[in-house]
């Protein structure tokens, strides 16, 4: 075999290996991209399903763990129409029935930690009772 032929064969092999590597790498990238897209779609679908889940009690105010300085707070939230709402803390029980979806009530606070347990009993027996717990800290350190 001539020297030139040997060089040509060697170069051919090198170029072949490079082309093959590039093709493999591109193929893997395409697969990864597809997997990512599918993953995101699944997450998005799950998030949409979660946001569609019906909740019979949602508290918009106050934020759990809030540190405040005051004798009362206003509790605001949403329940199913006609729900019986029970709010209890170590110093007070409040019972109210809501004809609207949104509710708002003033609630007294003790000094220190206030563990507030909220329960909504929907008027529709098909719906389940929902509970929320709030911890509000009434402190005068500001």
Instruction: Write out the residues near other proteins by the rule CB under 8 A.
Output: 65, 67, 84, 86, 88-90, 93, 95-97, 110-113, 115-117, 119, 121, 125, 129, 131, 133, 135, 137, 139, 141
Of the candidates 117, 109, 115, 116, the residue with the CA atom closest to the CA atom of residue 138: 109
Q: Does residue 103 contact residue 77 with C-beta atoms inside 8 Å?
A: yes
- Which of 22/113 has CB closer to other proteins? 113
- Which of 39/124 has CB closer to other proteins? 124
- Nearest distance, CB of residue 73 and other proteins, angstroms: 15
What own/partner pairs with CB < 8 Å and gap ≥ 24 does 4-13 have? none
Angstrom distance (rounded) from CA 106 to CA 74: 4
- Nearest distance, CB of residue 85 and other proteins, angstroms: 10
- Nearest distance, CB of residue 82 and other proteins, angstroms: 12
Helix extents (H) in the chain: 3-52
- Which of 16/90 has CB closer to other proteins? 90
């Amino acid at each position: 075999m001539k020297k030139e032929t040997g060089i040509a064969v060697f170069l051919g092999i090198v170029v072949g290996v490079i082309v093959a590597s590039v093709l493999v790498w591109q193929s893997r990238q395409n697969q990864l991209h597809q997997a990512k897209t599918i993953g995101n779609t699944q997450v998005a679908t799950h998030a949409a399903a979660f946001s569609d889940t019906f909740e019979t009690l949602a508290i918009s105010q106050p934020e759990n763990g809030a540190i405040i300085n005051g004798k009362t707070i206003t509790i605001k939230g949403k329940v199913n129409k006609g729900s019986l709402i029970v709010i209890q803390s170590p110093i007070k029980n409040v019972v109210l029935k809501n004809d609207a979806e949104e509710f708002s009530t003033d609630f007294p606070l003790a000094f220190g930690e206030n563990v507030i347990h909220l329960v909504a009993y929907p008027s529709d027996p098909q719906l389940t009772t929902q509970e929320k717990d709030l911890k509000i800290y009434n402190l005068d350190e500001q």
